[in-house]
């Protein structure tokens, strides 16, 4: 099963392939900041230190939101991530 690693504390979680990062965090008290949960506020912006290829590519709307809230190359919105393989997530705000 894919593994989520939270860079800030090193905690890892095994999840079924295709899991929503947002839904998993909310259901399991995983530390990550969320706001709107629909990809428009940028609160959940993060970097994938490992496994960027293991999530679905960003939609145009996600790319626009990321450009507004982060200058980090390859940043993603945690609320939009579907986990297809191992990833390491680092909050950016
Ligand atoms: S929680 Fe608002 S963009 Fe992800």
Strands of the sheet with 45-50, listed across from one edge = 12-14, 3-6, 87-91, 45-50, 76-77
Domains of the chain plus CATH, in order, are 3-91 (3.10.20.30)
pLDDT tens per residue, range 34-64:
999 999 999 999 999 999 999 999 999 999 9
Q: Specify the pLDDT at position 48.
A: 98
Residue among 20, 26, 32, 39 whose CB has most ligand 1 atoms within 8 A, to mutate: 39
- Cβ 21 vs Cβ 6: under 8 Å: no
Q: Is residue 72 very low, low, confident or very high in pLDDT (cuts 50, 70, 90)?
A: very high
Q: How far is the CA of 15 from the centre of ligand 1 (A)?
A: 21
Q: Is residue 20 very low, low, confident or very high in pLDDT (cuts 50, 70, 90)?
A: very high
């Amino acid at each position: 099963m894919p593994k989520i690693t939270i860079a800030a504390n090193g905690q890892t979680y095994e999840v079924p392939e295709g899991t929503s990062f947002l839904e998993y965090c909310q259901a399991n008290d995983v530390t990550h900041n969320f706001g709107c949960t629909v990809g428009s506020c940028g609160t959940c912006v993060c970097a994938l230190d490992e496994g960027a290829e293991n999530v679905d590519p960003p939609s145009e709307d996600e790319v626009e939101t990321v450009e507004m809230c982060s200058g980090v190359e390859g940043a993603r919105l945690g609320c939009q991530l579907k986990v297809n393989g191992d990833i390491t997530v680092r909050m950016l705000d």
